[in-house]
């Protein structure tokens, strides 16, 4: 059986497979001959998911000033628009109970 590369899985598929591998390892269902391969697969999936989360966070950080500008609304007529501050305040996002 050829495994799909982690980057070709949807986020949900990757999380589902990772959870299945973790359950197999926790329950001792992995044959010792397959142990390292399953462990490597779990690591490969985790690295891919971590990269996806980091890219998503960077995109959210990039877009946040635009949302802030929209929330401030248009500048009163005759005044130039207010530019977003170069260093917006740090925001903490809740990304749910992801395993990383």
Q: Give, for all 100 residues of the chain, the pLDDT tens digit.
A: 579 999 999 999 999 999 999 999 999 888 888 999 999 999 999 999 999 999 999 999 999 999 888 888 876 676 665 555 555 555 555 556 555 4
The pLDDT score that the predictor gives to residue 36 is 92
pLDDT given for residue 24 in this prediction: 92
pLDDT attached to residue 22: 94
Q: What confidence score (pLDDT) does residue 96 get?
A: 60
- Residues 21, 24, 29, CA angle at the centre, nearest 5°? 145
At 16 the pLDDT is 97
The pLDDT value recorded for residue 2 is 78
In angstroms, the Cα distances linking 29 to 15, 36, 79 are 19, 13, 68
Residue 86's pLDDT is 57
Task: Note the helical H segments in the chain.
Answer: 11-26, 32-72
Q: How many C-beta atoms lie closer than 10 Å to residue 14's C-beta? A: 20
Number of other residues whose CB lies within 10 A of the CB of residue 21: 18
């Amino acid at each position: 059986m050829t495994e799909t590369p982690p980057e070709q899985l949807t986020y949900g598929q990757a999380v589902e497979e990772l959870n299945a591998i973790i359950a197999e390892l926790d329950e001792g269902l992995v044959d010792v001959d397959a142990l390292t391969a399953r462990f490597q697969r779990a690591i490969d999936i985790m690295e891919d998911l971590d990269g996806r989360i980091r890219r998503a966070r960077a995109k959210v950080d990039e877009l946040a000033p635009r949302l802030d500008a929209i929330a401030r609304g248009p500048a009163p007529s005759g005044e130039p628009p207010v530019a977003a501050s170069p260093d917006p305040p740090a925001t903490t996002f809740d990304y749910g109970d992801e395993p990383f």
